[in-house]
């Protein structure tokens, strides 16, 4: 019986020595478990963000056509070659003959605060676009001009007609009802 008690005491002493000598290792095991839990939480958060990004990509792909149309409405750059083609097509469709097209860029972002106040722009309104002024010289009838203005209004790219000046076209001996037009148009880009 004493032998059994001594064996049990020795076993307990041996276990006590092992536990006390390996306490740092046991503590490191517990800290590693905590680290693993933190990494799992971080992984879950990253996985959730990845799922959100994938949903946004799917939404973008579903609306790609609408987004492409927006790039036509308010292009990133001036896109003058495309603008020339559009204006020429609108003029030909309307029955106007274009003599010349001139472009003048105006940076609205660079306007001073005083200029914005004088023009009535709100102080808290941020203008995230630039304007491109276009001067057209054309010849045609009044109805052709009217049709041209309707086409500009319906065009996908935003254009505002600022002014129209016209004079009678001299065509020799006969009066054919043609006019020379000078049309000022303002369009926008990012």
- The sign of the torsion formed by the CA atoms of 75, 158, 149, 184 equals negative
- Phi/psi for 161 (5° steps) reads -80, 120
69: pLDDT confidence band, cut at 50, 70 and 90? confident
Q: Looking at domain 80-189, what is its CATH homologous superfamily?
A: Ribosomal protein S6/Translation elongation factor EF1B (3.30.70.60)
Each domain of the chain, given as residue ranges in start order, spans 2-62, 80-189
pLDDT in tens, 105-154: 765 554 545 565 666 655 555 567 888 899 999 999 999 999 999 999 99
User: What string of DSSP letters covers 51-101?
Assistant: HHHHHHHHHHHHTHHHHHHHHHHS-SS--HHHHHHHHHHHHHHHT-EEEEE
Structure tokens at 116: 């914005």
- How far apart CA 77 and CA 95 sit, in angstroms, is 29
User: What string of DSSP letters covers 119-177?
Assistant: TT--TT-----EEEEEEEEEEE-HHHHHHHHHHHHHSSS-EEEEEEEEEEPP-TTS---
To the nearest whole number, what is the mean pLDDT of the chain?
83
Q: Mean per-residue pLDDT for 96-103?
A: 92
Q: Smallest Cα–Cα separation from 187: which of 86, 97, 112, 98?
A: 86
- The sign of the torsion formed by the CA atoms of 86, 89, 93, 97 equals positive
2: pLDDT confidence band, cut at 50, 70 and 90? confident
Please give the pLDDT value at position 110.
46
Pairing of strands 97-106, 159-168: unpaired
pLDDT in tens, 15-61: 887 777 677 776 777 888 889 999 999 999 999 999 999 999 999 88
**The pLDDT of residue 76 is above 60:** yes
Q: Smallest Cα–Cα separation from 103: which of 76, 74, 129, 81?
A: 81
Please name every residue paired with 166 in a beta bridge, in sequence order, or none if there are none: 181
């Amino acid at each position: 019986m004493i032998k059994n008690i001594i064996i049990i005491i020795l076993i307990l002493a041996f276990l006590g020595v092992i536990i006390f000598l390996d306490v740092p290792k046991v503590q490191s095991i517990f800290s590693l478990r905590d680290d693993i839990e933190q990494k799992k939480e971080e992984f879950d958060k990253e996985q959730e963000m990845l799922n959100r990004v994938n949903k946004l990509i799917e939404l973008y792909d579903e609306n790609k056509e609408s987004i492409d149309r927006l790039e036509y409405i308010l292009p990133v750059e001036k896109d003058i070659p495309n603008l020339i083609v559009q204006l020429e097509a609108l003029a030909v469709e309307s029955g106007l003959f274009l003599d010349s097209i001139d472009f003048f860029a105006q940076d609205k972002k660079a306007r001073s605060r005083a200029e914005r106040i004088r023009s009535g722009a709100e102080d808290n309104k941020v203008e995230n676009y630039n304007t491109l002024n276009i001067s057209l010289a054309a010849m045609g009838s009044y109805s052709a001009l009217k049709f041209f203005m309707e086409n500009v209004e319906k065009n996908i790219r935003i254009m505002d007609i600022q002014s129209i000046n016209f004079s009678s076209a001299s065509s020799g001996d006969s009066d054919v009802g043609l006019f020379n037009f000078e049309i000022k148009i303002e369009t926008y880009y990012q």
